[in-house]
Copies of this chain bind each other. A is one copy, B any other.
Amino acid sequence: MPRPSHKDKIIDAGLAVFHEFGYHASGVQTVVDHAGVPKGSFYNHFKSKDELGLEVLNAYWRQSEDMRAALRASDKSPLDRIDDHLASFNVTRSGCLVGNFTSEMANEPQFRVALREVYASWIADFEACIAEGQNDGSIRNDETPKALAAFIVTALEGSVLKRKLEDDEQTMVSFRKTMLLFLRAG
């Protein structure tokens, strides 16, 4: 396996630091210290902190693809797939980088575009799964798959946000239980 390049090390460090401390609270110096590379190396690879921020968002989204793959696991029922996906949010006080960046960076045009793409692809994964559950009669059908999908994603980001204030997983466990109750056809 090749050694990670300075660029990869900086992206990994940026992900860890921005996720734990927040985007504006973390300077380039903190990132390069965490990466163990000289500061000059940063500017060989990135024009600005924002360029790194966008790469970090991209890397985070790629790394969480396995979680979304649960929504497409065709050997399980749609509701079980949704439950599995929600259960995979082992989030801590650091929250979700997507939600954190939405809070801090939504008004920066490049982040805005990137974040919208992230939500759109996430909602599309839910939507396909929900459509299947509506067809087989297991998921409520008084809303479109798209409306239900958008509701789940926004509510989920809210519960991940709230989780930052808690000492235990109760917020996430309750959220998952209530959401499944909501989705199940009556």
Contacts and interface: CB of A to CB of B under 8 A. Distances in A.
A62 interface: no
B143 A22 contact: no
A87 interface: no
A25 interface: yes
B174 A119 contact: no
Contacts of A116: 165
Contacts of A182: 182
A29 interface: no
Interface string A22-37: 1111000000000000
Interface in A102-161: 102-104, 106-107, 112, 115-116, 119, 142-143, 147-148, 150-151, 153-159, 161
Interface of A: 22-25, 93, 95, 99-100, 102-104, 106-107, 112, 115-116, 119, 142-143, 147-148, 150-151, 153-159, 161-162, 164-165, 171, 174-175, 178, 181-182, 186
